[in-house]
Structure formats: structure tokens, C-alpha cells
């Protein structure tokens, strides 16, 4: 049993963490912090949590971040980029663990790329050497041994899980890889803006961040470590008028003729031991509704353009496998818990 803290508990990823951790069998106590709502009670901000907080496991009171740090064995940081470094450094010094849901630890030792895209240099560069990129299907063994995990981006998770088996087996060219993704509005965060205003995004559909979205260099960074060459990524995110979910269509040119049956066998074998990856039967199409509220990623495979190109369609819940659920999956791995602990949910049919 462990004591867990969330610094940044009132954003969408923070409250999603709360919902999962309250029911986690190995979490003894849960402590919450929020700069914006310090001193308030979480149920006053998220009434859906009524009767779940104010218990021995979680008081629901939003504490000072320092107090949460002192009380916890593991910290989740759900903060804007640039703010998790100091907590990670403190965790290393105090023998605690940290899982960051921002971008701070997603680029290994590549400070140059991080600075280019996030306009900030690292304050604790040595701390980054201890961090592991937290995609369980890629780095499970490293995650088991580390104290600092950088949780992947939501779009990135959907694209990487779709592409890694083909790239790792050298079946596709990495220049270019085209990724066309659509996300629900929760991906823009809880703070009000024109992007997530219902009058602006309802009954509408748009591309955004074209040629400038920060998940593009993250995808390229991870795939380059697998392909051993720098890939050329064309990534286009879209905002669709639904609350949650991501659907990504990823395209890559095949290096040799591969039948769809051979590709299907490769993917099913690659993911055969992955509890949260479902490679769908040939001809089936994934839908965001089929994974909503769960940590699953559904994948469908197609060989198109007269057998010259691989197309992979992947779906996940951007708030769960794309954020908080994957973070808890990483926690389970770090502590040797059953990987499905707290996440063993059946998707609702509608």
C-alpha cells in the first residue's frame, strides 16, 4: 500500500487521476493540491466526486503542494510544462517517485528539441538523466527501475502504438510518415478559451496547430530511437465536437510487399501480451465510443494504395490511455502491482 499525491489535481487529467486512484486497491491514502483552489474541497469543484472523498482514504481538502509532497510516496504532477522539474529533483533526493503528465520529461536528454518547441531550458538537467519515457509497451523494463517517468502525450500515444511494430520490424519508410488525428475538446484543457467554448467548437470541425503542434517532435523523437534514423513526420491534429477520445489515421510507405494477413499476424504477435492493446479483426473499424473511459487502445490495419502503403487506424480515450490511465499503468509497473490494478474496466456499449 502506498500514499499518493497529485499536484495539480483540479485540471481534467488531475480529476481523472482522482477517480481512478480512489478505487485503486494499492493506494492507502490520496492527497490533493491545487494552486487555483487551495483551501477548498474537491467535491465543491467536481460534484461528481461526492461521497467518494471525505473518507479515510482521501479527505478531499486541497492542500499546499509542499504538504502533499511531504505526505506522499509517489507524486503525480499534472501541471503546465516547466513546473514538474523541481518536484522530480526533490523526489530523487528524498527517495520518492514521480510521474509527470506534462511535457517536461518526454525528450530524454534532448534539451535542444525541448527548448525549441517549449521556449524554456531545463533547470535541473541532471534530473532528466534519471527519467524514463513512460510508454509501457516500449519501455516497461526501464519503467520498473526508474523513479521518474515522463507520461507520453495523448496524440503521441495513439500514433506510436499504431506505428511501432511496423517501424521496429523495418517494414515501412519513415520519410514521410503521415499522421492525421482527431481529438475531443477535453484535449484543450479546462481553462476557458475560444477553442473549447461550445459556441465556437460545437457543430464545427477544424484542423489546428498545423506544422506547429508540439506532439510532432515528440513522435519524431521516439520513432528515431526505434528506427535509428531521423524520421520525417507530417502530423495534423483536428478538434471535433465531442468531449473525449482520439482517432488517428497513420500512413507509411511499405519497403516491401507485405500482405494484410502477414501484417495482422505481426501486430497481434507484437501486442499479444499487452493487456490494453486490442488489435481488431481484419475489416473491423475502431470507434472512440468503444474505448471511452478505459485504458484500451484499439487498432485496425489496412494495406492500401495497391499494396504500397500501410494504413493504421487507432483509437483511445485521450484522458485515460492518453493521460491519467497510462500514468496509473506506469505507477503499477513501478511498484510491481498488477498492471490492470485500478484500470480493469469494461468499456460501455453506448
Listed residue (116, 135, 58) closest to 329, CA to CA: 135
CA distances from 221 to 117, 152, 165, 181 (A): 13, 12, 16, 18
- Give whole-number Cα distances, 343 to 28, 193, 275, in Å: 17, 31, 11
pLDDT at 195: 73
Q: Residue 271: how many CB atoms within 10 A of its CB?
A: 19
Task: Determine whether 95 is exposed, middle or buried from the number of CB atoms within 10 Å of its CB (0-12, 13-18, 19+).
Answer: exposed
Q: Which superfamily does 2-152+321-335 belong to?
A: NAD(P)-binding Rossmann-like Domain (3.40.50.720)
Q: Which pLDDT does position 192 carry in this prediction?
A: 66
Which pLDDT does position 136 carry in this prediction? 98
Q: What is the enclosing helix (H) or strand (E) of 239?
A: strand 233-239
Measured distance CA(72)–CA(263) in Å, rounded: 45
User: Which residues are designated catalytic?
Assistant: 154
Run of H or E residues at 206: strand 206-207
Q: What is the pLDDT of residues 15-55, one digit of tens each?
A: 999 999 999 999 999 999 998 899 999 999 999 999 998 89
What residue segments make up the domains of the chain, in order of their start?
Answer: 2-152+321-335, 155-318
Which residue(s) pair with 77 in the sheet?
Answer: 7, 100
What is the strand order of the sheet 2-7 is part of? 62-63, 27-33, 2-7, 74-77, 97-100, 148-150, 131-133
What CATH number should be reported for the domain whose range is 155-318? Answer: 3.30.360.10
- pLDDT tens, per residue, the chain with 350 residues: 999 999 999 999 999 999 999 999 999 999 999 988 999 999 999 999 999 988 989 999 999 999 999 999 999 999 999 999 999 999 999 999 999 999 999 999 899 999 999 999 999 999 999 999 999 999 999 999 999 999 999 999 999 999 999 999 999 999 999 999 999 988 777 776 777 777 777 888 889 989 899 999 999 999 999 999 999 999 999 999 998 999 999 999 999 999 999 999 999 999 999 999 999 999 999 999 999 999 999 999 999 999 999 999 999 999 999 999 999 999 999 999 999 999 999 888 77
DSSP 150-182: EPPPHHHHHHHHHHHHHHHTT-EEEEEEEEEEE
Amino acid at each position: 500500500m502506498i500514499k499518493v499525491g497529485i499536484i495539480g489535481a483540479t485540471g481534467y487529467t488531475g480529476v481523472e487521476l482522482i477517480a481512478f486512484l480512489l478505487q485503486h486497491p494499492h493506494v492507502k491514502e490520496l492527497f490533493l493540491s491545487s494552486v487555483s483552489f487551495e483551501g477548498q474541497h474537491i467535491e465543491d469543484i467536481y460534484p461528481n466526486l461526492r461521497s467518494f472523498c471525505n473518507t479515510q482514504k482521501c479527505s478531499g481538502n486541497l492542500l499546499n503542494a509542499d504538504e502533499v509532497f511531504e505526505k506522499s510516496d509517489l507524486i503525480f504532477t499534472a501541471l503546465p510544462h516547466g513546473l514538474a522539474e523541481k518536484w522530480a529533483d526533490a523526489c530523487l533526493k528524498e527517495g520518492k517517485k514521480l510521474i509527470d503528465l506534462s511535457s517536461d520529461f518526454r525528450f530524454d536528454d534532448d534539451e535542444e528539441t525541448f527548448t525549441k518547441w517549449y521556449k524554456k531550458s531545463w533547470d535541473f538537467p541532471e534530473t532528466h538523466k534519471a527519467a524514463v519515457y513512460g510508454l509501457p509497451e516500449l519501455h516497461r523494463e526501464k519503467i520498473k527501475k526508474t523513479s521518474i517517468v515522463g507520461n507520453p502525450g495523448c496524440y503521441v500515444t495513439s500514433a506510436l502504438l499504431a506505428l511501432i511494430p511496423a517501424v521496429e520490424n523495418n517494414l515501412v519508410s519513415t520519410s514521410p510518415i503521415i499522421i492525421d488525428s482527431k481529438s475531443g475538446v477535453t484535449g484543450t484543457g479546462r481553462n476557458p478559451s475560444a477553442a473549447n467554448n461550445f459556441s465556437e467548437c460545437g457543430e464545427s470541425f477544424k484542423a489546428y496547430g498545423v506544422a506547429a503542434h508540439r506532439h510532432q517532435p515528440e513522435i519524431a523523437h521516439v520513432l528515431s530511437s526505434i528506427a535509428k534514423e531521423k524520421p520525417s513526420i507530417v502530423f495534423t491534429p483536428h478538434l471535433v465536437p465531442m468531449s473525449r477520445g482520439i482517432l488517428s489515421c497513420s500512413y507509411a510507405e511499405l519497403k516491401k510487399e507485405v500482405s494484410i494477413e502477414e501484417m495482422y499476424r505481426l501486430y497481434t504477435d507484437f501486442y499479444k501480451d499487452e493487456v490494453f492493446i486490442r488489435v481488431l479483426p481484419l475489416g473491423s473499424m475502431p470507434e472512440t465510443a468503444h474505448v471511452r473511459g478505459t485504458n484500451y487502445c484499439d487498432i485496425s490495419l489496412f494495406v492500401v494504395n495497391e499494396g504500397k502503403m500501410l494504413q493504421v487506424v487507432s483509437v483511445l480515450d485521450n484522458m485515460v490511455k492518453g493521460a491519467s490511465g497510462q500514468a496509473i499503468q506506469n505507477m503499477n509497473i513501478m511498484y510491481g502491482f498488477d498492471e490492470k490494478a485500478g484500470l480493469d474496466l469494461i468499456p460501455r456499449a453506448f
